[in-house]
Structure 1
Amino acid sequence: NGKCTDVSVVGDATYCVTGAVCSGSGVIPAGSVCPKKDAVATKDCNKGLKSFKDGKCVLVADTVCQKIPSGAWGCVFGGSNSSGISNSTKPSSPSIQYPTPAPSTPSAKPTPAPSTPKKY
């Protein structure tokens, strides 16, 4: 029927989507449709939002339906884990190497006994 429903994106503006909108608070969402890349906001577009550019909000990436901190299902930027953190901020191996308080390997010491048996 082409009718769309407003759905807000966590930390961003409100967009209009068609289909079963991502919502609910159960184990599975009532619907799973979220705004996709290049969608233009219908309201709540403000300077400082991730999608804000040249006076309007246009999604730079797809959003996905997942549990949000309130316990409800909501649309968040893609590639996120259950706490709503995107892959670009997930923990990875640290780029800064900190010195360890103790040496990593013990200093070489002579062995108290021969390492290969001697023939007598």
Structure 2
Amino acid sequence: KLTVSDGNTTNSRIRENYITINDWTGISSMKKSSNLHFFPNPLKGAGTLVFSLREEASAAVVSLYNFNGIRVWEQQTQFLRTGKHSLMIDFCDSGIPSGIYYLTLQTGKTSGRIKVIVQ
């Protein structure tokens, strides 16, 4: 059953074979980073992201998302070898207000997310 609403009226229809998926791709094929840490948390100003990579990465993107899912900050790095890494992240001059955020790490084959409180 498909129900569509514009906020005032609702229209429902029952149709068979309405949605067909022929092929899919997605995040499920990515490995989650098992070692993703950020400190201090909560933080004022600068913090350190520590993570481990099981495979080399040509690049990594570290992003900060607010609670509404809007990216408010991003930093890119270049080639990273396997093993442990730490990135110093400074929010002092970024104008990011206090609140709860999600800090994400994304490489070609690895992803991770951690909750960060900015004071």
User: Which TM-score bucket, shorter chain as reference?
Assistant: under 0.3
Q: TM-score, normalised by structure 2?
A: 0.23
Superposition TM-score, scaled by structure 1 size: 0.23
Q: Which of the pair has the greater relative contact order for Cα pairs under 8 Å at 6+ separation?
A: 2
